[in-house]
Amino acid sequence: MMRSHRLSPWISAFLAMLPSVAPAQESSSPSSAPADDPRRAVVKIFASQSPPNMFQPWRITPPTEATGSGVIIAGGRVLTNAHVVNHAQQIYVQIHESSEKLDAEIEFISDECDLATLRIEDADALRDVRPLELADELPPLKAKVNVLGYPTGGDTLSVTEGVVSRIEYVPYYFDTAALRIQVDAAVNPGNSGGPGVVDGKVTGIVFSKFTEGENIGYLIPAEVIRHFLEDWADGDYDGFPQLGLGWATLENPSLREYLKVDRSVTGTVVHRVNRDDLGDLIRPWDIVTHIDGTAIDNLGMVPIAEGVRVFAGCLVSRKTVGDKVRLGLIRDGTRREVEVPTISRIPQVFRRMSGPRPSYFIYGGLVFTPATSDLLKAAGANAFAFMGLRGTMLPRYMRARPEFEDQELVVLSCPILPHRITKGYAITPLSVVTHVNDRPVRNLRHLIGLIRENREDFIVLRFEEDHEEKVVLQPALVEKFMPEILENNNIPAACSSDLRDVWPR
């Protein structure tokens, strides 16, 4: 995306002194391009974005103006990237060769695959625009592709040309993976959400570029877009399915000898089964040789098109959540075939935020929040590495499965808010609270319940298992001074709106 910049007052004053020149009028009439020209379906998107403040969760960041691209598809939808419109207070769409910015709102969105669709309030504005169709299949390698959008460096539509150079199955976000098309057409900030067109159809939309190389951009393929749209058709988004297995390659000679398999056997080795519902269907050390009849090589790759081999998980991600996958296995030298239902995601302690804003609870100047994947992303890799060196709890749970159904880690999102009732306490932000009065904390709602139900004169909060720190508070003083703490820090409430049923004060 491209950030907009406003002129400073003294520059504006200087420009006002220059001789006036009548600007060329930008047409607001229908595009002069032919009706079947793909350019007519490409739009510019303006978004005022205010992402949440993960460390001061009662706040949102000041709005910033950003621009991106989009394409009109069937049903009057505008297809774009999630990151172009995420956390937007206001969205406008400008049609090709029009001066009017049309009000729009998000219809469907998924950060996991970085896709979103918009609805324009004035649907009649699109009556003269022919939507672009999604391609029916992956483009062949070396296919000529035109990338359309509104990148940095100008205000009018940009068209660059290149070829499809690579197709891969890669991680998108957290535990989601899908196909990605690499093109050698120029892609720059502002191109995000714009279509890559092959033979007049959308083969994919731009979502990122390789910053360390020249003219290397990436498209979300049409089949991933179609999966996203069909998933939302019932109004409920399930995501991309997976099997919940940890796999390893079968290329090591010692491993093959240990498993007693000859050169004729190819596949991957199951190292972990990250779900409890499979029973004896799959075990560690099983060799997976086929997925739905397609043979897997010793690197875990399968063919999906001419000249294109990708990781075998791609065959699973193409299905819908709950579909069954037929696996060919070798266990203890015996071949067998099993059917495994797919799941939407592997259960993990770290989950996505459940709403657009982080949950929080403030007690005596301590700001508690769940340790979500969004919080860890905001903290950054350096902070996470530092926590690992200190031996704190969060890094140990990075890929951990929950020990019980409602488990979540509760951390301090920021330093303790200053007040005399917390004088002398200094708990490092992102430290995990483990106990309230010697009772283990299961999740944020449970922590609130433990504090609400306390009848003792003191509350003892314990942090971190191996580097235990304690905070002792007197509930009577907290009750007395909480209004002052909130007012001093311009905080509207002691908890987020989703927690007021458990903390109604």
Within 10 Å of residue 156's Cβ, how many Cβ atoms? 9
Catalytic residue among 111, 114, 184, 286: 114
**What pLDDT does 76 receive?**
92
The CATH code of the domain that includes 296 is 2.30.42.10
Distance between CA atoms of 45 and 186, rounded to whole angstroms? 20
Point out the residues of the chain with pLDDT beneath 70: 1-36, 174, 211-213
* Phi, psi (deg, nearest 5) at residue 195: -85, 150
The torsion angles phi and psi of 210, rounded to 5 degrees, stand at: -90, 110
Choose one of 95, 126, 157: the last residue of a domain. 126
**What's residue 241's pLDDT?**
93
User: What pLDDT was estimated at residue 276?
Assistant: 87
Domain stops at, among 184, 213, 234: 234
At 401-425, the pLDDT tens digits run 899 889 999 999 999 999 999 999 9
Show the domain range for 197. Answer: 144-234
Do 377 and 488 fall into the same domain? yes
Active-site residue 323, yes or no?
no
Considering the domain architecture, whether residues 164 and 220 belong to the same structural domain is answered as yes
The number of distinct structural domains making up the chain is 4
Question: Is 475 within the bounds of a domain?
Answer: yes
Q: Which one is catalytic: 110, 158, 192, 496?
A: 192
Q: How far apart are the first and last CA of the chain?
A: 42
Provide the pLDDT for residue 331. 95
Examine the residue annotation and report whether 114 is marked as an active-site residue of this protein. yes
For residue 320, give the nearest of 254, 238, 386 by alpha carbon. 238
Same domain flag for 493 and 367: yes
Together in a domain, 209 and 320? no
416 and 332 fall within a common domain: no
CA distance 459 to 476: 10
Query: Structure pTM?
Result: 0.85
Residues belonging to the chain: 505
Looking up residue 388, the CATH number of its domain turns out to be: 3.20.190.20
Q: Do 122 and 41 lie in a common domain?
A: yes
Pair 489, 437 in one domain: yes
pLDDT of residue 35: 58
Based on the residue annotation, tell me whether 290 is a catalytic residue of this protein: no
Is residue 225 within 8 Å of residue 134, measured between CB atoms?
Answer: yes
Co-location of 152 and 228 in the same domain = yes
- For the chain, helix, strand, coil in percent to 5 are 20, 35, 45
AA letter at 401: R
Q: Say yes or no: 495 and 376 in one domain.
A: yes
- Cβ(288)–Cβ(328) under 8 Å? yes
Query: Residue 383 in contact with residue 430, Cβ under 8 Å?
Result: yes
Catalytic residue from among 83, 96, 227, 446:
83
462 plus 386 within the same structural domain: yes
